[in-house]
C-alpha cells in the first residue's frame, strides 16, 4: 500500500483532473441548455444569461481542475524523486 506512493499520487492527480474536466463540461452544457428564461405577464423571454454562465463554468472549471491536479502531480513527482535519491544514497552507504 505504501510502496511507490509517488506514482500513486501522480495517478490520483490525473484521475481527479479528468473527473473535474468532465464534470465542468457537463455542468456547463447543462447551464447552456437550460438557457435563462424570464416570464412576465404571460410572455416568456429568453435572456441568454445562462449561456455566459455555462461558458464560464466550462472554462474556469477546466482551468481549475488542471491547475489543482498540476500541483498534486508535482508533489507526487517530488516524492518519487526523493525516494530515488534515498535509494541511491542507501546503496552507496559503506559497510
Q: Cα–Cα distance between 34 and 29 in angstroms, integer? A: 9
* Share of residues in the chain with pLDDT > 90 (%): 61
- C-beta separation of 89 from 26 below 8 A: no
Q: What is the pLDDT of residue 49?
A: 75
Geometric angle at alpha carbon 79, from 67 and 24, rounded to 5° = 20
Residue 38 pLDDT grade (very low, low, confident, very high; cuts 50, 70, 90): low
Reported as a single tens digit per residue, the pLDDT across 61-90 is 999 999 999 999 999 999 999 999 998 988
Mean pLDDT in the chain?
Answer: 88
Give, rounded to a whole angstrom, the gap between the first and last alpha carbons of the chain: 30
Cα separation values, 45 from 31, 35, 48, 51, Å? 17, 10, 9, 14
- Average the pLDDT over 17-35 and give the result: 91
Amino acid at each position: 500500500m505504501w510502496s511507490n506512493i509517488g506514482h500513486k499520487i501522480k495517478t490520483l492527480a490525473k484521475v481527479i483532473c479528468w473527473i473535474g474536466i468532465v464534470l465542468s463540461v457537463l455542468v456547463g452544457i447543462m447551464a447552456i441548455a437550460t438557457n435563462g428564461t424570464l416570464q412576465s405577464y404571460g410572455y416568456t423571454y429568453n435572456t441568454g444569461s445562462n449561456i455566459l454562465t455555462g461558458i464560464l463554468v466550462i472554462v474556469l472549471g477546466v482551468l481549475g481542475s488542471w491547475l489543482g491536479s498540476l500541483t498534486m502531480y508535482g508533489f507526487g513527482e517530488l516524492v518519487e524523486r526523493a525516494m530515488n535519491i534515498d535509494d541511491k544514497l542507501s546503496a552507496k552507504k559503506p559497510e
